[in-house]
Structure formats: C-alpha cells, structure tokens
Amino acid sequence: MKNKYVSRLVGLFFVLALISTTCGWIPFTAPFTIHSVPEGAAVYKTGGTTPVGTTPYKSHIFHLERTYEVRMDGFFNEPVLVDYNAAKDIYVKLRALPVLLYTKPDADVYAAGSDTPLGNTPLEMDVYHEDRTYTLKAKDYYDKEITIGLATETPMVLELERRPIISLTTVPEGTEIYENDALCATSTMTEEILTNRTFELRKEGYFKKTVELTSSSPYEMTVELIPLPVISIQSVPDGATVYLVGDDKPLGNAPLSLTIEKATRFEVRADRYYPETFTVEPKTQTAKAMLNAMPYVTITSDPAGAEVYLAGKLLGTTPLEQLIEKETAYEIRQEGYLPQTVTLTGKDAQPVITLETVPVVAEEVEAVVEAPVAAEEEAEKAPAQPGMNLPLIGGIAAAVVAALLFFVLKKKKTA
C-alpha cells in the first residue's frame, strides 16, 4: 500500500510541475513570443521536421537555452536562440530568397534612377520587403521596367520587345538607296522602321529595284540587283556616232556596247550619210545600222573651169561638188563655148560635161571679105583723084575687113 501511495504522489507532483511551467507559475520559467516579418512562418525546433507552431509563436523557457528555426517559402531559414534571459518578444525579419532573372536577349539591369548597371542577365536579384523597380536595357530593344518584391516568383523569365531596326544590305556593293528621290545610304542602310516605307535601289548597269519595309520586316535583309542586258551597236560605215533619239549628247562611236533596261530608240549619224534611227529591245544582243550614203556629185567639165549655174545663180566653177537628191538642171557656161544645160540625178558621182566651141558662120565671113574687094574694084574703075594713091586705098580696105571679122566672131561668142 505504501509503494502505491508513493507512486501516486510522484505522479501528482509531475502533473503539478507541468501545469505550473505552462502557466508560468513556477519562478524558474519565462514566457516568450517569436514574431516574424512576414508573420505566418513555421517554427521548428532545431533539427526537427515537424513545426511546433507558426509565428507569432508563444511558449515558456526554463533556465536552459533552446534553439528554434523559423521557416517560410521564398525566404531563408532563420535560426532563433531563446534562453531564460531573452526578451519576452523576439522579432525575426526573414530574408527573402533572391529572384533569378532571365531575359531574352541578355540585358543590362539598372536600379530606378541609376546610370550604373547592377549586372547583366542572367542575374540573381536581391528581394526586399518593399517592392523595387528596375529597368532592363539591350541594344536594338525597347527598355523594359520590372518590379521585384516579396510576391515575385523565381525564376523570372522575360522577353524584350525588339525595336524595328532593319539593316538593309545590297549586292553589288556601291548600290545607292533612295527614299522619295533623296539619297539615304550606299550599300548598307540601318533604319528604325515604324511605318511602311518605300526605298529604291539604283546602280548603273543594273535594273532598279523597289523595296518596301515595314515594322514586321526581317531585321536583316539582303537585296540583290539584276544586271542590265548588254547590247552591241554596230554601223556601216564603221565609226558612226550613236545618240539617243531626241538627245544631241553622243553616247560614243560604233561599235559600241551599252546596257539598257527597256526598249530604247537610238540614232546613228555619220558624215556624208543619212542618219538612221532604230529601236533596240533589252533581249537584243547586236544591232547593226546600215547607213545610206548621201548622193554627192562632182560636176566636171571639158575644158575645166566652166561656170555652173542653178536657176540663174552662179554656184562656182568646175570641178564642183553638189548634193543632188533629185533630178536637177544645171547650166554650164564658158567663154568661147556654147552654153550647155544638163539634168543630173545623183546616180553618176562624177559626170563630165564636154563643151562645144562657138562655130564661125561662113556666109558672114564671105560677106565681110567681099565688101572690101568690091570697094577696091570700084576704086580702080574710078579716075584717080589728086592726092590719093592706090596703096593707101588698099590699106584702108584691109582694116575694114579685119574690123568686120572681129565683130562677127565676138557676136557669135556672146550668143
């Protein structure tokens, strides 16, 4: 009976001790409360796997020390040492786990209002109890602002929006890029395309090409120009000068190689030949111009030096060159020769006009000769007059005959 009574007494003692400790009735226990920021964190005994409570967590401590651990998702585990002399309220400010920040593409991270980057993504970002703002910057991309706080999940993966900066490259090099007929660049152009824009690519020897760029165009574009077809212009005779129809600026002399992008009219000219115009298509490889010689005629006469008249106007003396494109009548005159009218067509390049001398009329000569003879006979029949002699009379008769002959011959020549 005695042992049974002792056992009950010991059990009662332990129950009373437990109640006293829990209620703080015993002087060698002290109450404490563990608080956390944020509240609601789980409280574990060190090494424990099951929480003894959540913050704010209240308990008592004997004179011995005790270690707890405060845990919460997204925060580092924080150890808490509690002993008899500890404050009644213990506050633990939990440190948030960093957020791992990824961006596409990699970007520099700037704190709000700072010009110095914190680093380049991927980057571990410290998390604070108050939200903080950062700016992400990458070349050719729009800046992006982000906010990181306790509610931010990790990892944080972001894709930046690319600015519509387009690089246009041309083949061959040296191609000029125009917009609204204004030169923008040569060979390569980098532009931010916010609205639809039209460009024209130009290079001598190549077809022009129009390119329309939009904000959704590929960021890198290569445009290849098509060479213009090469044509060869030849002429007969060789060496004729080639012109564009309506333009007096010569392109060169045949044989001549040119590039054209559409049907083009040319004119070929050579001295003493009629000009020739023709149209050349881009698909043509060789164009040959057969020039027709102009009908130049050299008028000659026998004897040379005769005067040449056209419609009564003196043109010059033989030999004389004339352009005769149709039947034309010329008059050839030379002193002592009969005038002659000839019709030339230009087919004979060197006609020879033979002139005839002026003929002497026999009857006129006889009359002139007979007149002084008759006068002489009459003189012989007449009685001699004092002071006159026969030799004198004969001389006078001879002079008269000579004068008459000269007059007749000159009259024939002028006729």
Evaluate whether 332 touches 301 at the Cβ level (below 8 Å): yes
Lowest mean pLDDT among 66-75, 154-163, 188-197, 383-392: 383-392
Q: Which CATH class is domain 27-93?
A: mainly beta
Per-domain residue ranges of the chain: 27-93, 99-159, 167-224, 230-290, 296-354, 362-414
Is 60 exceeded by the pLDDT of residue 382?
no
Evaluate whether 299 touches 344 at the Cβ level (below 8 Å): yes
Buried b (16+ CB within 10 A) or exposed e, 107-127: bbbbeeeeeeeeeebebebeb
Express each pLDDT in 32-82 by its tens digit.
Answer: 899 999 999 999 998 888 999 999 999 888 767 889 999 998 899 999 988
Is 70 exceeded by the pLDDT of residue 5?
no
Q: What is the pLDDT of residue 366?
A: 55
Is 80 exceeded by the pLDDT of residue 411?
no
Q: What is the pLDDT of residue 28?
A: 64
Cα dihedral sign for 141, 147, 149, 153? negative
Mean residue pLDDT across the chain: 84
**Strand, coil or helix: what is 309?**
strand
Express each pLDDT in 308-344 by its tens digit.
Answer: 999 999 999 999 999 998 999 999 999 999 999 999 9
Cα dihedral sign for 183, 189, 191, 193? positive
SS3 content of the chain, % helix, strand, coil (to 5): 15, 45, 40
